[in-house]
């Protein structure tokens, strides 16, 4: 009887959660949809509810809450309409239930079915060396070139997964977080979805470096009162003057993301207290489209009437918007209390685009006639996905490489503006005009000076490309180009040039595979990747030229066999093994919850020590490598090769000491080095491997390598060293 009552209570609780979430979705979408749209949304909800009725998420909540939440993000945080809401509600049904795309097309039309198809993962078995993530991402982008809503819904899906990551296993948290920072955060950046991008970044940090995340979160909370007081004082005169000018506006003080603050602390070797731009003042002007620029500069004039600007930090993205549509006027000014403050000035339309990116940009498209930034970007994606000879890994790396780059603005001889990634060359510029011009480029004239095609361009250059009918792309051009459009066009040309030889090479390796009883289509990409070829075409070419000896295929087969043995050893728990006494074991690390002794080594790229959050990575030739979860290489390893990642944790009782490194700097004084060594060796009894200190112009900087038992001992040592007179900074380095 009690069990039945508990079941009824649980069902009632679930139903209440579902109804509340669904009603909230309808309430927020009311202004974006028609009555017929509402009927279709209700129908999609009922179908999704029925399809997922027996399913629950890892957290234990009903699965239907996930698609409702994704639809809610699409509406409230991105601003999408009815088609996207319906697709979001149905985005998991094809993958997880018996419903088909044909059924969805029949009920809701071609567009909804196409979007759902783009969001459905590729099924099938993926062998070691291939990347399911890369394959699924490429499939999604193939649909993106026809309908941008695919990628926007996918970002909403990823955001909700990150918000609910707490209930996932540790391995799942690391994999999903790393995929997010490696692919989805840069993509959100490229689409101008700054709010979503910032939250994805912060959540990545939360699950990969919780100590840093909590430290900065607590610091932001503790300093909120004084920060708010400062902001109120800073904006008071600006507020008064803007009102006097009869302008409609609002002023906000917004803190920077935890992720970006953490990056500043690490990259600039400064403390939290030393970061001057913890927040930015944002002035949002409610003004007609035609008057935006004038009024924004008027507001800039008001700000600089009260505070002195830093001329080196003026950024005008109103006259030349970023490639992702971002428009704003940024300046950094000196406040009355000796603090630098960043001020962002923009219109309501610009702010809408800055927060909601492409979706908002589309809303204002009529006003932005002639603005083809997103069309150009989608065109470049279309060019990229049309390349049939890319391996999935190569495709993902090339696509990702152009998402985050800083931009430069250069001009054609006719004065047309071209936006390119920083470090772009004359070659990239030529290909941005047309692939034919790029393939015949021999150099250019800039400021009446003849320059080679490898010349790196800077903002403001006016480039006149020189071409020759005798010119054709060569192998080294790929390394000279930066943009994915140039790289893919060069590869296409090279492929055409070597097509005959590649065909011969392909026939040769097909015959070799047949002798070895190896399936060609399933293994050729992995073999090419194993031998470090960037594409299978290059692999075929080297085979035909005799550069690659086909006997080496045995080496690949042996490595796969070794990897399988290692994985089986790690994954399948051998119950017949005796449990090792943790107190007496020389091993520091427990893998996958097993008590087996396994060969491993600490990765030299991040030097983990007990107390660090870690994972194991099964390499092909060097056994298990142990990495810190916040290692600079972990996002790529965890997102591309998740099948080779194993859970790792430190034993609770250990006696081993591991090598760690510190960077220390300060101002010179007699005895400072003696004080440093006394604290390390005498007070804390820590063994040093080496210490090197350089003195120059009254400043010292040095590196200390020492053996510590865990992070607690290391941080205690750092605290002591920081208190030494004349020591300014100390930090752990990889």
Which residues are catalytic, by number? 95-96
Tokens of residue 427, six digits: 């070659």
SS3 content of the chain, % helix, strand, coil (to 5): 55, 15, 30
Separation CA 370–CA 386 (nearest Å): 26
Per-residue CA distances from 191 to 227, 316, 353 (Å): 31, 19, 10
For β-strands 645-650 and 614-618, DSSP reports them as antiparallel
Structure tokens at 661: 């490194």
Closest by Cα among 689, 668, 678, 665 to 717: 678
Among 39, 69, 63, 42, CA closest to 51 = 63
CA 91/CA 153 separation, integer angstroms: 9
* Helical segments of 536-647, H only: 536-545, 553-571, 634-640
Supply φ then ψ for residue 252, to 5 degrees: -120, 150
Please tell me the distance from the alpha carbon of residue 688 to that of residue 669, in angstroms, as a whole number.
Answer: 22
Residue 232 CA to residue 227 CA, distance in Å, equals: 9
C-alpha 684/C-alpha 674 separation (Å) is: 14
The answer to whether residues 486 and 453 touch, using CB atoms and an 8 Å cutoff, is no
**d(C-alpha 691, C-alpha 705), whole Å:** 6
Query: Who's near 552: CB < 8 A, 6+ residues apart?
Result: 531
Q: Which two tokens stand for residue 120?
A: 């459905």
Mention every residue, 6+ apart, whose C-beta is less than 8 A from residue 54: none
Look at strands 340-347 and 407-411 and give their pairing: unpaired
| Cα 67 to Cα 581: distance, rounded to the nearest angstrom | 47
Q: Phi and psi (nearest 5°) for 660?
A: -140, 155
Other beta carbons within 10 angstroms of residue 585's beta carbon come to 16
Question: How many CB atoms neighbour CB 647 within 10 A?
Answer: 17
User: Computed from CA positions of residues 539, 542, 543, 547, in that sequence, does the dihedral angle turn out positive or negative?
Assistant: negative
């Amino acid at each position: 009887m009690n069990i039945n009552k508990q079941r009824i209570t649980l069902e009632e609780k679930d139903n209440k959660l579902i109804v509340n979430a669904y009603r909230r979705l309808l309430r927020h979408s009311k202004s974006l949809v028609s009555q017929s749209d509402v009927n279709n949304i209700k129908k999609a909800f009922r179908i999704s509810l029925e399809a997922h009725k027996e399913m629950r998420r890892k957290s234990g909540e009903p699965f239907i809450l996930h698609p409702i939440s994704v639809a809610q993000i699409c509406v409230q945080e991105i601003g999408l309409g009815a088609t996207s809401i319906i697709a979001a509600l149905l985005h998991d049904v094809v993958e997880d239930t018996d419903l088909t795309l044909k059924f969805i097309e029949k009920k809701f039309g071609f567009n909804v079915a196409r979007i759902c198809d783009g969001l459905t993962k590729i099924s099938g078995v993926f062998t070691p060396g291939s990347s399911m993530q890369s394959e699924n991402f490429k499939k999604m982008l193939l649909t993106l070139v026809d309908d941008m809503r695919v990628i926007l819904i996918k970002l909403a899906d990823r955001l909700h997964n990150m918000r609910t990551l707490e209930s996932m296993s540790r391995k799942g948290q690391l994999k999903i977080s790393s995929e997010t920072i490696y692919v989805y955060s840069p993509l959100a950046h490229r689409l101008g979805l700054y709010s979503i991008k910032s939250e994805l970044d912060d959540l990545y940090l939360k699950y990969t470096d919780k100590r840093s995340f909590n430290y900065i979160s607590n610091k932001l909370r503790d300093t909120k009162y004084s920060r708010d007081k400062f902001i109120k004082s800073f904006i008071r005169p600006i507020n008064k003057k803007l009102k006097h000018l009869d302008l409609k506006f609002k002023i906000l003080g917004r803190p920077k993301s935890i992720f970006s603050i953490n990056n500043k602390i690490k990259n600039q070797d400064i403390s939290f207290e030393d970061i001057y731009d913890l927040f930015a003042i944002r002035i949002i002007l409610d003004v007609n489209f035609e008057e935006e620029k004038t009024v924004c500069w008027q507001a800039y004039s008001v700000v600089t009437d009260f505070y002195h600007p830093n001329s080196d930090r003026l950024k005008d993205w109103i006259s030349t918007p970023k490639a992702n549509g971002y428009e704003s006027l940024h300046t950094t000014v000196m406040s009355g209390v000796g603090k630098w403050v960043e001020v962002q000035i923009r219109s309501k339309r610009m702010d809408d685009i800055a927060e909601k990116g492409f979706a908002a940009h589309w809303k204002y498209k009529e006003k932005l006639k002639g603005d083809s930034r997103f069309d150009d970007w989608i065109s470049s994606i279309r060019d990229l996905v049309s390349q049939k000879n890319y391996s999935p890994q190569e495709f993902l790396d090339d696509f990702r490489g152009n998402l985050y780059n800083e931009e430069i603005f250069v001009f054609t001889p006719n004065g047309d503006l071209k936006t390119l990634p920083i470090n772009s060359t004359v070659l990239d510029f030529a290909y941005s005009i047309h692939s034919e011009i790029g393939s015949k480029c021999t150099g250019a004239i800039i400021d009446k000076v003849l320059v080679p095609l490898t010349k790196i361009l800077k903002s403001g250059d006016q480039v006149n490309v020189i071409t020759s009918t005798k010119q054709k792309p060569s192998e080294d051009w790929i390394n000279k180009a930066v943009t994915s459009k140039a790289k893919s066009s060069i590869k296409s040309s090279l492929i055409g040039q070597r097509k005959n030889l590649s065909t011969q090479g392909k026939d040769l390796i097909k015959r070799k595979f047949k002798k070895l009883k190896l399936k060609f289509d399933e293994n050729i990409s992995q073999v090419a990747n194993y031998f470090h070829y960037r594409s299978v075409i290059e692999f075929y070419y080297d085979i035909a030229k005799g550069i690659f000896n086909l006997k080496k295929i045995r080496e690949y087969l042996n490595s796969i066999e070794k990897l399988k043995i290692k994985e089986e050893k790690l994954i399948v728990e051998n119950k017949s093994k005796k449990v090792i006494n943790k107190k007496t074991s020389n091993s520091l690390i427990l893998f996958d919850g097993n008590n087996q002794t396994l060969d491993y080594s600490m990765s030299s790229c991040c030097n983990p020590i007990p107390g660090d959050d870690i994972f194991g990575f099964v390499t092909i030739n060097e056994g298990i490598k142990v990495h810190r979860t916040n290692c600079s290489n972990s996002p790529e390893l965890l997102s591309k090769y998740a099948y080779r990642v194993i859970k790792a944790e430190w034993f609770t009782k250990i006696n081993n000491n591991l090598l760690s490194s510190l960077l220390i700097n300060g101002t010179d004084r007699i005895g400072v080095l003696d004080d440093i060594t006394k604290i390390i060796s005498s007070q804390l009894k820590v063994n040093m491997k080496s210490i090197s200190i350089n003195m120059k112009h009254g400043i010292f900087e040095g590196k200390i390598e020492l053996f510590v038992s865990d992070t607690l001992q290391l941080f205690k040592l750092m605290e002591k060293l920081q208190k030494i007179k004349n020591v300014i900074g100390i930090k752990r380095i990889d």
